[in-house]
């Protein structure tokens, strides 16, 4: 058996690790303690080698190494933007002999007081929002919980940011005292997380475990295009913060921009938000609104947005449209965005425009699409 064919323990849940240990015939009475040890080494210290696990007997370390690895998915490329944003193209470990390893993109956005990792929940996306590049990708599959968690592990490897390691001093921002390089996770990369809720929910359990990766659930945000039947479920199972990709205030327009709206129209979506477990003024739901020139950016749209959100504990995030090659929209003019944002601000919503980050490396929202897909598309074009 070659190294790469062994299952990796990276990203496993506690139950998953227990099952891996049982498969080695470990006595049941030892399992809980061994899981705790592995957990601490893998997620608290970021161990890459079983031999580093000094409180695990040499014999067990050897057996673990014989059957499993601590291999991470491979970083195929790293691009660093002039604003410090990093985009990693990550090749997932093959799931079987025919799989060449699907690719996903993962983006790290450092700010003064926080560092946000934008993770993917699927390879591609089955939905077809007309302004989103990921929606044009044909290859689609759900990520496993392991693959979702592995994105944070890879980022922490790269940034030297495990809770059990001394933070790096090489100028990596954020600069605030005691702020981790990755302090927040948003599910705003590729895919619709609520179409993969079981795995997202397991992954959230690992990300937020206080004895391991230790991210607070209040610093984990799941963004959905509006899969209404799963919204309550997400809240009940994970306690994650919710973000809704609203983008339009009328059903006829939202039907076009976010076709899922035909199934779950705005009124139903907002009702699900009002009912979201744990939503309160201290834990507001974020409403994302992409600014598309002359499509959804009028004063009337802004006023209607404010009216619609009455009674929902909401924050509004205006996202300047990030163009991609062949996109059918343009970003609203800056003055228009400011005017729109003034109306929203005067209605009591604070600082709503999201600064585009990593634009020079196509790392912004909705620009993610795997390199293999791009190459394939290029090959198709070349063949025409």
Residues with catalytic function: 105, 365
Among 116, 183, 196, 223, binds ligand SAH (CB under 6 A): 223
**Residues 196-235 vs ligand SF4: string with x where CB under 6 A?**
-----------------------------x----------
> Per CB under 6 A, does 363 bind ligand SAH?
no
- Burial degree of 292 (CB within 10 A; 0-12, 13-18, 19+): buried
Among 127, 143, 186, 200, binds ligand SF4 (CB under 6 A): 127
> Per CB under 6 A, does 129 bind ligand SF4?
yes
- CB 104 → ligand SF4: shortest distance, Å? 12
Contacting ligand SF4 within 355-384 (CB under 6 A): 366
Beta bridge partners of 148: none
Among 131, 162, 276, 349, binds ligand SAH (CB under 6 A): 131
- CB 17 → ligand SAH: shortest distance, Å? 29
Among 38, 53, 89, 132, binds ligand SF4 (CB under 6 A): 132
- Using CB under 6 A as the binding criterion, the count of chain residues that bind ligand SAH stands at 18
- CB 296 → ligand SAH: shortest distance, Å? 12
Q: Which is nearer to ligand SF4, 104 or 153 (CB)?
A: 104
CA 311 to chain centre: 28
Read off the tokens for 329: 């929209």
Cα distances from 146 to residues 29, 109, 149, 200, 361, in angstroms, run 26, 22, 5, 10, 27
Q: Which is nearer to ligand SAH, 10 or 194 (CB)?
A: 194
- CB 333 → ligand SF4: shortest distance, Å? 23
Among 43, 72, 366, 369, binds ligand SAH (CB under 6 A): 366
Among 9, 90, 92, 132, binds ligand SAH (CB under 6 A): 132
Residue nearest to ligand SAH (CB): 366
> Per CB under 6 A, does 266 bind ligand SAH?
no
User: Can the peptide bond before residue 5 be classed as cis, meaning omega within 30 degrees of 0?
Assistant: no
Among 85, 134, 142, 196, binds ligand SF4 (CB under 6 A): 134
- CB 224 → ligand SF4: shortest distance, Å? 8
Q: Are 253 and 273 in contact (CB under 8 A)?
A: no
**Residues 232-271 vs ligand SF4: string with x where CB under 6 A?**
-------------x--------------------------
- CB 265 → ligand SF4: shortest distance, Å? 16
Among 105, 111, 147, 192, binds ligand SF4 (CB under 6 A): 192
Q: Which is nearer to ligand SAH, 35 or 241 (CB)?
A: 241
Q: State the SS3 of the chain.
A: CCHHHCCECCCCCHHHHHHHHHCCCCCHHHHHHHHHHHHHHHHHCCCCCHHHCCCCCHHHHHHHHHHCECCCCEEEEEEECCCCCEEEEEECCCCCCCCCCCEEEEEEEECCCCEEEECCCEECCCCCCCCCCHHHCCCCEECCHHHHHHHHHHHHHHHCCCCCCCCCCCCCCCCCCCCCCCCEEEECCCCCHHHHHHHHHHHHHHHCCCCCCCCCHHHEEEEECCCHHHHHHHHHHHCCEEEEECCCCCHHHHHHHCHHHHCCCHHHHHHHHHCCCCCCCCCCEEEEEEEECCCCCCHHHHHHHHHHCCCCCEEEEEEECCCCCCCCCCECCHHHHHHHHHHHHHCCCCCCECCCCCHHHCCCCCCCCCHHHHHHHHHHHHHC
- CB 360 → ligand SAH: shortest distance, Å? 15
Q: Which is nearer to ligand SF4, 4 or 128 (CB)?
A: 128
CA 55 to chain centre: 34
Give me the residues that bind ligand SAH (CB under 6 A), please.
125, 129, 131-132, 188, 192, 223-225, 245, 288, 290, 319, 321-322, 365-367
Give me the residues that bind ligand SF4 (CB under 6 A), please.
125, 127-129, 132, 134-135, 191-192, 225, 245, 366
């Amino acid at each position: 058996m070659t190294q790469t064919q062994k299952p990796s323990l990276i990203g496993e849940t506690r139950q998953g690790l227990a099952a891996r240990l049982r498969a080695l015939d470990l006595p049941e009475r030892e399992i809980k303690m061994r899981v705790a040890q592995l957990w601490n080494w893998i997620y608290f210290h970021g161990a890459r080698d079983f031999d580093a696990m000094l409180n695990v007997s040499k014999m067990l370390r050897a057996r673990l190494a014989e059957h499993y690895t601590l291999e991470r998915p491979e970083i195929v490329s790293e691009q660093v933007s002039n604003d410090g944003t990093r985009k990693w193209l990550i090749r997932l470990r093959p799931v079987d002999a025919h799989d060449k390893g699907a690719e996903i993109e993962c983006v790290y956005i450092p700010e003064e007081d926080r560092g946000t990792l934008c993770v993917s929940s699927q390879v591609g996306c089955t939905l077809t929002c007309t302004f989103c590049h990921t929606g044009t990708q044909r290859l689609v599959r759900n990520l496993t919980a392991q693959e979702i968690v592995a994105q944070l592990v890879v980022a922490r490897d790269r940034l030297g940011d495990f809770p059990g390691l001394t933070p790096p001093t090489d100028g990596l921002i954020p600069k605030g005292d005691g702020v981790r390089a990755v302090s927040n996770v948003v599910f705003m990369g590729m895919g619709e997380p609520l179409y993969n809720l079981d795995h997202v929910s397991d992954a959230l359990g690992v990300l937020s475990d206080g004895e391991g990766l230790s991210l607070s659930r209040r610093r984990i945000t799941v963004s959905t295009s509006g899969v209404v039947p799963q919204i309550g479920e997400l809240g009940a199972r994970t306690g994650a913060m919710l973000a809704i990709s609203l983008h339009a205030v009328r059903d006829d327009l939202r039907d076009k921009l976010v076709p899922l709206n035909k199934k779950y129209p705005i009124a139903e979506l907002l009702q699900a938000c009002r009912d979201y477990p744990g939503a309160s003024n201290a834990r507001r739901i974020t409403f994302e609104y992409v600014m598309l020139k002359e499509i959804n950016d009028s004063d009337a749209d802004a006023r209607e947005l404010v009216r619609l959100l009455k009674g929902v504990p909401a924050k509004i995030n205006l996202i300047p449209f990030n163009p991609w090659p062949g996109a059918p929209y343009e970003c609203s003019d800056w003055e228009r965005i400011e005017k729109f944002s003034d109306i929203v601000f005067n209605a009591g919503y604070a600082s709503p425009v999201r600064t585009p980050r990593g634009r020079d490396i196509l790392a912004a929202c909705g620009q993610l699409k795997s390199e293999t897909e791009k190459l394939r598309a290029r090959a198709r074009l070349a063949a025409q």
